[in-house]
Structure 1
Amino acid sequence: MTRIIGALSEISDRYQAVYCDIWGCLHNGVTPFPEAVAALQAFRGKGGKVLLLTNAPRPAGAVAATLDAMGVPRDAWDVIVTSGDAAQEAMLSGAVGRRVWHIGPDKDEGFFRDIPAEFAKAAPIERVPLDQAEGIVCTGPFDEMTEVPEDYRPQFLLAKTRGLPMLCANPDVVVDMGETRIYCAGALAALYEDMGGTALYFGKPHPPIYDLASRRLAALGGADPAQILAIGDGINTDVAGAVAEDLDMLFVTGGLAADQFGPDVDAPNPDLLRAWLATRQQDPIWSIGRLR
């Protein structure tokens, strides 16, 4: 049965490293959460390693630049691992062909532009119209502030008929941009699968991003897997991924599901929380209102 804690410091001595989600835990898409920043700084100050593990469909460098612009200090984390990194490796390895139709906003250009050194000599990826494509790369809607998955049904019907596989660079279905909930690539991929298409996933809760995180953690000196704590607010991504990887989990209730656990976001109602988790057949070892 999950135990509700008041601060990361209550359990931090048990862990050598954390895999911490970003959106919903460290910031809300607009503003950093000062207490979350302080918690990660304190963990690092005691010798812990902080890997920011995010389903952002962009390479780690682009996410770091966003955090810098937002005012998240660099001493709150050691390394960033993104769904975009893992998906980019797959794309450059030819997972959905070399001629792809890209669905995504302009801010995701780095997915195609910022090529890792180990793939510098790989055959190029060419972005083409749908009717010329061998596969689809989805980093999100073209206009995430206005579009919904159903807007893509006509194109997906054609793509499914042609048997095009979709590489989904972000398995998240929705995120909250400040007070606005927006759809992510995962929502489009889910519709494509519902229509009979094939989607390939590389972020949480799927293994590729955790394999990449393990490699990045090893480069920092490694950690005992039993002493790695996953932190996140997504029941179907962060929690499910931690369970699949046999990692201890700190579920942040004040994120995507904040309205489910009573009026005080910082103090989730234990009965509501446990009932909600039971309906989803999940039981993270720890829960917290907000990361602090």
Structure 2
Amino acid sequence: MTIRAISGLAALADAADAFLIDQFGTIHDGETPYPGAIETLRTLRAAGKRVILLSNSGRRASNNIHRLAAMGITADCFDASLCSGEVAWQVLRAAPPAYLRRRCRVLLFARDPALDILEGFDIAPVETAEEADLVMIAGSEADRHGYDALWSRMAPAAARGVPAICTNPDRLMLAGGRLHPGAGALAEAYQAAGGTVRWFGKPHADVYDAALALLPGVPHARIFGVGDSLEHDIAGAVAAGCRGLLVRTGIIDGLDDAALRVEMRRFSTLPDAVAPRFAF
């Protein structure tokens, strides 16, 4: 298994017309842009490349864009910003499942208490699994409360057969410089316990369908998914017919080539190239 190492995105300039670029772990650490990331985004656009920021953020797009702007990643850095929470909202509004066509009591798991991903529906937030008609898994607070505490709140709903929606499939998240179980890990456990989960976000198709709709006429083979997750950013891009650039930051920071090959085999995914970081 050969890893094609490149120093930056300039090596892909002749092969790419557009980039689907991950956020957390790729261009920022959740609070601060990585060195050179903003300049790289602007350089890509100046070179005529289309730049779509594609995130597994479980919130709506407006929240995500506001958060990016607060870091200095302003609208001139990208052509569009698309996140799993926004795609979930659009899909659910277009074809609401039965439990959202009536008043629905929602148990939310997220980094903050906002339920904007269910804006326009008749919902009532609840605090316990016993009250819930729906479990919404938009984020993880495992770094704050511990995984076991979160799962103990969620497990009774799975046992009751309460449906769940996951708008952030990331199984790992970085917080405080450490890896913790992400929303995707909670959703996987929910599914394993017999609950049903509807997934939105990378690597699932809905978010790529929405992203590719923003790039009409661009051959998929000339679109690169860029990110730090083989399981989400690279596998999702490849499944959509695009190509992949893995950056060695975020959740794979510190992995050597041997460990990286193990991960590639684990997820049956081979990126077209690997770069040390997001840089031109």
Over 3 Å counting, the alpha-carbon distance change for 1:167 and 1:100 in structure 2 is farther
**1:264 paired residue number:** none
Return 5+ residue gaps in structure 2 as ranges.
Answer: none
**2:239 paired residue number:** 244
- What secondary structure, in the 3-state scheme, does the structure 2 residue paired with 1:231 have? strand
**2:22 paired residue number:** 21
Cα distance in 2 for partners of 1:172, 1:145 equals 14
Cα distance in 2 for partners of 1:13, 1:73 equals 26
Q: CA deviation at 1:72?
A: 1.8
Q: CA deviation at 1:272?
A: 5.1
Q: CA deviation at 1:162?
A: 2.1
Q: CA deviation at 1:96?
A: 6.6
**1:2 paired residue number:** 3
RMSD across aligned positions (CA): 2.3
Instruction: Give the AA of the match of 1:136.
Output: V
The correspondence for 1:97, drawn from 93, 96, 99, is 99
The correspondence for 2:166, drawn from 142, 165, 168, is 168
Over 3 Å counting, the alpha-carbon distance change for 1:281 and 1:112 in structure 2 is closer
Q: Which deviations, in whole Å up to 9, do the C-alpha atoms of 1:185-224 show, x marking residues without a partner?
A: 2121011112121111110000111111122334xxx422
Question: What does 1:1-292 align with in structure 2 at a 5 Å threshold?
Answer: 1-92=2-93, 93-95=95-97, 97-98=99-100, 99-105=104-110, 107=112, 109=114, 111-112=116-117, 115=119, 123-128=121-126, 130-141=129-140, 143-218=141-216, 222-261=217-256, 269=257, 273-274=260-261, 276-292=263-279
Q: Which deviations, in whole Å up to 9, do the C-alpha atoms of 1:136-183 show, x marking residues without a partner?
A: 111123x45312332234443321232111100100112213513343
Equivalent residues of 1:170, 1:185 under 8 A apart: yes
TM-score normalized by structure 1?
0.84
Between 201-210 and 64-73, the greater mean CA deviation after superposition? 64-73
Cα distance in 1 for partners of 2:185, 2:146 equals 9
Q: CA deviation at 1:106?
A: 6.3
TM-score normalized by structure 2?
0.88
Over 3 Å counting, the alpha-carbon distance change for 1:191 and 1:2 in structure 2 is same
Over 3 Å counting, the alpha-carbon distance change for 1:19 and 1:106 in structure 2 is closer
- What secondary structure, in the 3-state scheme, does the structure 1 residue paired with 2:76 have? helix
Return 5+ residue gaps in structure 1 as ranges.
Answer: 262-268
Q: Which deviations, in whole Å up to 9, do the C-alpha atoms of 1:214-264 show, x marking residues without a partner?
A: 22334xxx4221211100111111121112112110011222111211xxx
Equivalent residues of 1:29, 1:178 under 8 A apart: no
Equivalent residues of 1:253, 1:287 under 8 A apart: yes
- What secondary structure, in the 3-state scheme, does the structure 1 residue paired with 2:99 have? coil
Over 3 Å counting, the alpha-carbon distance change for 1:244 and 1:159 in structure 2 is same
Over 3 Å counting, the alpha-carbon distance change for 1:112 and 1:254 in structure 2 is closer
Q: CA deviation at 1:275?
A: 5.0
Q: CA deviation at 1:126?
A: 3.5
Instruction: Give the AA of the match of 1:237.
Output: H
Over 3 Å counting, the alpha-carbon distance change for 1:182 and 1:51 in structure 2 is same
Over 3 Å counting, the alpha-carbon distance change for 1:279 and 1:102 in structure 2 is closer
Cα distance in 1 for partners of 2:65, 2:115 equals 13
